Amino acid sequence: KSKEISGNSFHFFRSGMDNRTLESIKFENALYKALDRDELIIYYQPQINSRTGDIIGVEALLRWNHPTEGFISPADFIPIAEETGLIVPIGEWVLRNACKQVKAWHDRGYPLISVSVNLSVRQFEENNLFQVIRNILEETGLEPQFLHLELTENQIIKNTEATLKTMELLKKLGINIAIDDFGTGYSSLGYLKDLPISTLKIDKSFVEDVMTDKDNAAITNTIIALAQNLHLNVIAEGVETKEQADFLSSRNCYLMQGYFFSRPLKAEDVVRQYFYSEN
């Protein structure tokens, strides 16, 4: 069942409704208002080239600063945003603001880094995603090669013909598409070769115990080799220790993201920590 985002989708409210449903309706309602009330904030996590130590990009990660609950994790509210369709306006807001931010950095003479934005497959189901993104790039002036889109492997397997078409158009425009959380889903390798993607992002669950778990080390090695053989870029997420970073570097996987380098930061902290020292 998919509800529309009209202000009152509450006509089905009945007195017999249990507390949990009531709670989830309150939550949905609060999320609906969060955008207008400026409660959503984008944090940016640096992506590093371990060979040079340079920042090469940032991933935009959404945070909800709820007036009474405090910070709510995207893991808790993105699924609700997807169910209710709110992910469409929220996702567009993230795209626009992330592009605007990175373009502003470029204009100030900071390094020409990319920005990775997570997309829900729900956004691809809207038939105008391509136009929306093209307009955002035009409006903000960000060049397409600096925009990277991330779709999780589990979202990609829900792909339709239309989604694939949109991905192809986006790629033609010069945008990079990455498969996020790679290795955790159920996509077939044959399917992978037909997707218009440029990057595999190794899921943090493999990186996490790459030093202690032989199977995870083998899976990580295999994903890196797969990317190399298919001429795709590979980036590791969730790198928390120097040992993990060294393991990945020794396998020629140099692009990394994780707490070892930096937590997701507010925009001004990215500037303070990564751009001032280079000027």
Which residue ranges make up the site for ligand C2E (CB under 6 A)?
45, 61-62, 73-75, 78, 87, 91, 94, 118-120, 150, 180-181, 204, 237-240, 258-259, 264
Distance CA 53, CA 173 (A): 29
How far apart are CB 10 and ligand C2E at their closest, in Å? 25
Residues 226-255 binding Mg ion (CB under 5 A) are: 237
Contact 59, 116 (CB under 8 A): yes
How far apart are CB 109 and ligand C2E at their closest, in Å? 27
Look up tokens 């929220």; give the residue: 90
61 binds, among Mg ion, ligand C2E, none (CB under 5 to 8 A by kind): ligand C2E
Closest CA to 147 of 98, 201, 78, 89: 98
Q: Which member of 50, 118, 120, 257 binds Mg ion (CB under 5 A)?
A: 118
How far apart are CB 257 and Mg ion at their closest, in Å? 9
Distance CA 175, CA 148 (A): 6
- Which C-beta is closer to ligand C2E: that of 61 or that of 177? 61
Q: Which residue is nearest to ligand C2E (CB)?
A: 258
How far apart are CB 134 and ligand C2E at their closest, in Å? 19
Q: Is the alpha carbon torsion for 237, 240, 245, 251 positive or negative? A: negative
**b/e sequence 168-189, b meaning 16+ C-beta within 10 Å:** ebbbeeebbbbbbbbbeeebee
How far apart are CB 258 and Mg ion at their closest, in Å? 11
- Which C-beta is closer to ligand C2E: that of 87 or that of 255? 87
DSSP class of residue 274 equals I
Site string for Mg ion, 163-182 (x = CB under 5 A): -----------------xx-
DSSP secondary structure letters along 51-70: TTTEEEEEEEEEEEEETTTE
Distance CA 136, CA 129 (A): 11
How far apart are CB 32 and ligand C2E at their closest, in Å? 16
- Which C-beta is closer to ligand C2E: that of 170 or that of 239? 239
- Is residue 28 involved in binding Mg ion (CB under 5 A)? no
- Which C-beta is closer to ligand C2E: that of 124 or that of 130? 124
Distance CA 64, CA 131 (A): 27
How far apart are CB 239 and ligand C2E at their closest, in Å? 6
Cα 232 to chain center, whole Å? 18
167 binds, among Mg ion, ligand C2E, none (CB under 5 to 8 A by kind): none
- Which C-beta is closer to ligand C2E: that of 16 or that of 197? 197
Distance CA 246, CA 267 (A): 28
101 binds, among ligand C2E, Mg ion, none (CB under 5 to 8 A by kind): none
What are 37-40's contacts with CB under 8 Å, separation 24+?
Answer: 37/67, 39/64, 39/65, 39/66, 39/67, 40/64, 40/65, 40/90, 40/93, 40/94
Applying CB under 5 A, which residues contact Mg ion? 118, 150, 180-181, 237
